[in-house]
Amino acid sequence: MLKQKNYVKNIVFVIAAIVQSAILSSCAKADIPPSFEEDTAKLDVPVLLSEPIPEAEVHDYTRFEKQREAYLNALDAYSAGKYAEVESILVNDLSDYPLAVNIEYLMLKRPGADMNQIRKFINSGQHDVLSARLKSYYIQKFDNNADYKGVLSVSPSIPQSEDLKCLWLKAQYKTGNRHNAVAFLKNKFTHAEPLNAGCMGLASVLVATGAMTEADIYSRVYEAYWTRNKQGIYQTAARMLHKSKAYSEPLKLMSKYYANPAGYAAIPVTQKTAATAVFRRYGRVEPRGALKDFQSFISKYHPSEKDIRDIKKAIIISLLFERDDLPMDFIDSELPSLGNEDMFKQRIRLAIWNRDYIALNKYLNRLPAETLKEDNYRYWRAVALENLGREEEARAIMKELAGVRSFYGYLAADKVGAPYVINEVAVPSVNIRQRAGFIEKYPAYLRFTEYEFLGDRKGLRTEWKELMNQATVDDARYIAKTEAERGYYDLALWESIYKKDWDVLSLRFPVTYREIYSTQSDAQKVSLTFMYGITRQESMMNPKAKSPVGAMGLMQIMPETAKIVSRKHGVGYSKPVDLLKPEVNVVLGTAYLKDLLSDFGGNRIFTSAGYNAGPRRAVRWQSSDGVCRDLATYVENIPFNETRNYVQKVVLYDYMYQHLLGVQNPVFIYDSEKENCY
């Protein structure tokens, strides 16, 4: 954004404007597929026209020619620290320029910026996205400088961002309002919740001032120690107690038996604190052994009632994720009094796996009313009732659920022989004058067009978010439809998320890079719609997407996976950055998808589970007791929440793409997948 001056100085603005207008009229862009409207027009879909579409004269891209150059000069001057020059340009040359607000924002981040002006900008409502960024910038800056009154001056109320909450609470604590900070942090800390850097900083302050005691820190150690996935939290908290006299010996013993908690009996009876923590971990890691040794542990160490409850809970949590020869009498006698919602959900999955419909119905009744409204629990309630002889109630639930566009809604439709609902809202295309009307109506849209002209992708995304905040739902639909047709599919897709507008399917499920995908689909004999379903869930169709763990591009390929696939299939690949190129990424992703489909006999349920969680897990989660289970049972019993949801979405999205691409006789679940033993 700050280095475009030379580019603009060399461009002929009039020619650029003509080209831009041609783009608007032809919607020409290399990777734009044919419009979805040819297919959806054949369907009985509602078109919402609640208010007239505004019109205006076609946007004149030469209008801001002089201001653009001044704007880029201002950016260069800002980068060079020439703030007086920037101020002069802003006042004299940019008074009516749409992107002047960005210069104002940058100038408020310069050293020595006036606090009154900063607060005024934040509270002005002039630009919500930039205001939020400016507030975040100053909260962090003031915190780094230990200017806690400054933090509270730019944010009198607690921020919504989790990254900023603890910085704000620390400022409150430092300025005398201590209760909220202590209560908030202690709750997260002692329950071993992950803490961001700001919250760890607040924890350090509370420890240093005595507001958080060694006992509080040990509570964090104790709550993290027994789990399978919080080793880092346990170790960090334990280091906070490295000088503690009261906890030094228990911590040494806990460290010694971390990898082998079954050796707990060697811990002296005088070290009950350590023995209890180690035995609780034993219950999580080896629940059957811990259950067998439980009474002898109680006899030797005399744990408190709370400790006994904690140990029983750890044993039950671990057992609920197993399947064979379970001590159900113990589980079902203790679970009602010890269980929480997550434990009841896992017991429900176990009942589904074992076809124990009495237990299924019993534990469904333990869930909150709001949770029972979720599609999967409605489906399994109906299955339970049907198998308990209450067919009429079951069918009524299935018929109602069949009216929902979801994975379980479609499974319910299969049960009652109903068609799959689409519930699509079609949005007409707007013409150039109508687009100009929206540009005139929404300042953020005008700024969007300017950033597009300048080739500033970051600015585009900023203004798209601001525009979606400003626009009505109907206007947002028209605007997103227009920009999707102009090639901004990845931005248009976010309309449904910002507006919770789930029925404009052509925006939610764009068909990007059609030629690349179609070529690879044909060459590698992989379903085009399944490829798109995977892509939609993996990257939301963003070719530049990068995950926190390093997956890259449209189908989110890990660099190591890319190396293996490229060697196996002879696909050109040299470095990770290549994965941000669709022509490379889609080839590698499709080859990997083909390998998984081949390994799983073409079954998309197993393949999508393997794509997300790894093929070995997808195999491990299958039945191994000779019982032939159905796909719904398999999906519901995937132990990872992310993968369970992932599989459902990919299979549903596959069907959405079949619908949008006009596939004759689209199929939700293939016969071979229905007949497969899971």
Give the tens place of pLDDT for each residue, 30-45. Answer: 222 222 222 322 233 4
Rounded Cα–Cα distance for residues 59 and 450 (Å): 11
Q: Which residues contact 206 (CB under 8 A, 6 or more apart)?
A: 173, 181, 182, 185, 186, 212
Q: Which of 350, 371, 393 is the last residue of a domain?
A: 350
600 has pLDDT over 50: yes
Is the same domain home to 549 and 636? yes
Q: 315 or 42, which is more confident?
A: 315
With tokens 């989110």, the residue in question is 556
Reported as a pLDDT band with limits 50, 70 and 90, residue 11 is very low
Q: Which of these ranges, 4-13, 30-39, 77-86, 518-527, has the smallest mean pLDDT?
A: 30-39
Is the same domain home to 226 and 95? no
For the chain, what percent of residues have pLDDT higher than 90?
90
Q: For residue range 251-293, what is the model confidence (pLDDT) as tens digits?
A: 999 999 999 999 999 999 999 999 999 999 999 999 999 999 9
Residue type at 96 in one-letter notation: D
CA separation, residue 52 to residues 48, 55, 191, 474 (Å) = 11, 9, 54, 10
* DSSP per-residue letters across 258-298: SS-GGGGGGS-TT-HHHHHHHHHHHHHHSHHHHHHHHHHHH
Rounded Cα–Cα distance for residues 102 and 127 (Å): 9
Do the beta carbons of residue 192 and residue 224 sit within 8 Å?
yes
Region of residue 485 (phi > 0: left; psi between -120 and 50: alpha; otherwise: beta): alpha
Q: For residue range 361-372, what is the model confidence (pLDDT) as tens digits?
A: 999 999 999 999
Is the same domain home to 183 and 313? yes
Other CB atoms closer than 10 Å to residue 120's CB: what's the count? 12
Is the same domain home to 454 and 474? yes
- How many residues in total does the chain contain? 678
Reported as a pLDDT band with limits 50, 70 and 90, residue 53 is confident
Q: Which of 508, 528, 554 is the last residue of a domain?
A: 508
Rounded Cα–Cα distance for residues 72 and 89 (Å): 10
Say which DSSP state 576 is in.
Answer: G
Rounded Cα–Cα distance for residues 678 and 634 (Å): 6
Q: What is the pLDDT of residue 1?
A: 40
Mean of pLDDT values over 344-367: 98
Rounded Cα–Cα distance for residues 566 and 575 (Å): 11
CB neighbour class for 235 (10 Å; exposed up to 12, middle 13-18, buried from 19): middle
Q: What is the pLDDT of residue 33?
A: 27
Picking from 232, 225, 219, 285, the residue whose alpha carbon sits closest to that of residue 256 is: 225
CA separation, residue 79 to residues 76, 86, 110, 490, 593 (Å) = 5, 10, 10, 30, 46
Structural domain contains residue 2: yes
* Predicted TM-score of the model (pTM): 0.88
Which residues are tagged catalytic?
538
Picking from 113, 173, 102, the residue whose alpha carbon sits closest to that of residue 138 is: 113
Q: What is the pLDDT of residue 59?
A: 67
Structural domain contains residue 160: no
Do the beta carbons of residue 72 and residue 449 sit within 8 Å?
no
Range(s) of the domain holding residue 363: 351-418
Mean of pLDDT values over 557-583: 95
Q: 546: which strand partners?
A: 552
Is the same domain home to 652 and 523? yes
Q: What CATH number does residue 613 fall under?
A: 1.10.530.10
Mean of pLDDT values over 542-551: 94
Is the same domain home to 328 and 299? yes
**What domain count does the chain have?**
4
Picking from 586, 612, 604, the residue whose alpha carbon sits closest to that of residue 654 is: 604
Q: For residue range 212-234, what is the model confidence (pLDDT) as tens digits?
A: 999 999 999 999 999 999 999 99
Q: What is the pLDDT of residue 50?
A: 53
Reported as a pLDDT band with limits 50, 70 and 90, residue 189 is very high
What is residue 492's three-state secondary structure? helix
Question: Hey, which bits of 152-199 come out as E strands?
Answer: none
CB neighbour class for 577 (10 Å; exposed up to 12, middle 13-18, buried from 19): exposed
Rounded Cα–Cα distance for residues 646 and 639 (Å): 12
Q: Which of 491, 508, 525 is the last residue of a domain?
A: 508
Say which DSSP state 544 is in.
Answer: T
Is the same domain home to 448 and 551? no
Is the same domain home to 313 and 217? yes
